[in-house]
Chain A
Amino acid sequence: MTVGILALQGDFREHEDMLRRIGVPTLQVRLPRHLDRIDRLIIPGGESTTIGKLLAIYGLIEPLRARVRDGMPLWGTCAGAILMAQRVADGRADQPTLGVMDVTARRNAFGSQLDSFETDLQFAELGVEPLRTVFIRAPILEELGNGVMALAHLADGRIVAARQGRMLATCFHPELTLDERVHRYFLEL
């Protein structure tokens, strides 16, 4: 099994390092031809406007949607979660996205970089041990459609992780920690 990591922009190397520690082969995805060689895909953190434009310019949007329709597991962290959402709030009106998951992602939901934070969260699917999470100019998830399950909430109830079938969206960055559990969870979707 080869895990593709979308490498147009963002912290793709941190995902790669984590998967290498786990012992899973990875491939950086920048062009449509790279999609033929992968079994799953991670969209890393980064700037969703930048990644979205590069997805559109290099013809990756339709082939990716097709792979997801055919059941390829897909995980987005932060910007990746925004790109997966069918609806984007507080974004640019013309921002290209994949729009494959029935949720609304609200961009920069916490404010500027001064409001970026770390916190411990309960993520029931990963067991009782709390998960250390890093939020950087992060979005939140709202208006979950039928078939979308919330996986983690902040103390105030806002949703920061969700799953729909074999699609996973997290507003935080497990790749910036040493905790492998979310990566292992994705590998089993």
Chain B
Amino acid sequence: MDKSTWTTKVGLAQMLKGGVIMDVVTPEQARIAEEAGAVAVMALERVPADIRAQGGVARMSDPELILAIKRAVTIPVMAKARIGHFVEAQIIEALGIDYIDESEVLTPADEEHHINKHKFRIPFVCGCRNLGEGLRRIAEGAAMLRTKGEAGTGNVVEAVRHARAVYGEIRRLKTMDEDELFTYAKNIQAPFELVRDVARQGRLPVVNFAAGGVATPADAALLMQLGVDGIFVGSGIFKSGDPARRARAIVEATTHYNEPEIVAEVSRGLGEPMVGIEISKIPQDQLMAGRGW
């Protein structure tokens, strides 16, 4: 019996495909998320919108809170560690949580090194803004990716930019010969073997969700049509007027993303969405997507 193999790590992400992973800060919110059809929950102390509003250093959540959320649901539970903070990751693994998000939403603990994720039994998801960044994370052992977007803004524009970057680059890769692949790998600073595999398969070697700015069912369907495998919703649900209904509507829109009649129907009368922020109004040093490299 072989535990924590690459197949089981990547495999759990494959089981989450076509689903919605929701940020929750209490066991009660976790139950609402599960009831709405979430495939997993991200256990947090503060959603990104509050981290953004309150400022200060954002760290791993209190293990007590993470465990209380785990006890509240039967679906997988994820928790965030700071970029490069391998001891926070060791703690989350020791708690028996299902997945770690090495996340730019928290304040980075190391400005040069990401966590060496191969050393862990627990699988990791990491953020990326383009193909090179995603493949660097996979080389470090990430078993799942998510495009970063700009968390806590309720503005989907960065999520769209990053999804278009990743899938556009994959489409271009498919047309290159091997000579060009060597140069391309060098230019995007990714290992050649991974670049070649993506070119051959025409897709990423791991599951890729979208994150950062999803606030409506239409946002979720948009990203699914752009090619992502599923959706992370952070602040968009529990910062809205009617979280339970909005959560379910986003789940339904993620499944039926190619059926405009259904997306229209679930979008009706959802109440107030979270208040959005224009990206250009955010001071440069408060943008999260630029953290990590």
Contact = CB atoms under 8 A, between A and B. Distances in A.
Interface of A: 7-14, 30-31, 45-47, 49-50, 53-54, 57, 78-79, 90-92, 107-108, 111-119, 134-137, 155, 173, 176
B12 A9 contact: no
Given A9-B255, A54-B37, A116 B93 contact: no
Interface stretch (B15-23, B58-66, B238-246, B275-283): B15-23
Given A112-B98, A114-B96, A117-B8, A46 B18 contact: yes
A30 B39 contact: no
B75 A49 contact: yes
Contacts of B291: none
B74 A49 contact: yes
Interface in B104-133: 121-123
Contacts of A9: 17-19, 39, 255
A112 B8 contact: no
Given A8-B255, A11-B17, A118-B2, A113 B74 contact: no
Contact of B15 (A47, A114, A117): A47
B268 interface: no
Interface residues of B, number: 36
Contacts of B15: 10-11, 45-47, 78-79, 136-137
A91 B75 CA distance: 10
B97 interface: yes
Nearest to B99: A113
Query: What secondary structure prevails in chain B residues at the interface with A?
Result: loop
Query: What secondary structure prevails in chain A residues at the interface with B?
Result: loop
Given A30-B256, A116-B11, A137 B76 contact: yes
A116 B12 contact: yes
Contacts of B97: 112-113
Contacts of B16: 46-47
A96 to B, nearest CB: 11
B11 A92 contact: no
A40 B121 CA distance: 38
A14 B121 CA distance: 24
Contacts of B96: 111-112, 114
Given A30-B255, A90-B74, A118-B2, A11 B14 contact: yes
Given A14-B14, A53-B37, A116-B3, 10 more contacts: A8-B255, A10-B15, A11-B14, A113-B98, A115-B3, A117-B5, A119-B2, A137-B98, A173-B11, A176-B7
B53 interface: no
Contact of A114 (B121, B252, B256): B121
A30 B97 CA distance: 31
B12 A134 contact: no
A50 B38 contact: yes
A146 B4 CA distance: 36
Contacts of A57: 252
18 contacts: A10-B18, A12-B17, A12-B18, A13-B17, A30-B255, A47-B15, A47-B16, A47-B19, A50-B19, A113-B99, A114-B93, A117-B1, A119-B2, A134-B7, A134-B11, A136-B8, A136-B12, A176-B14
B251 interface: yes
A47 B259 CA distance: 22
B12 A118 contact: no
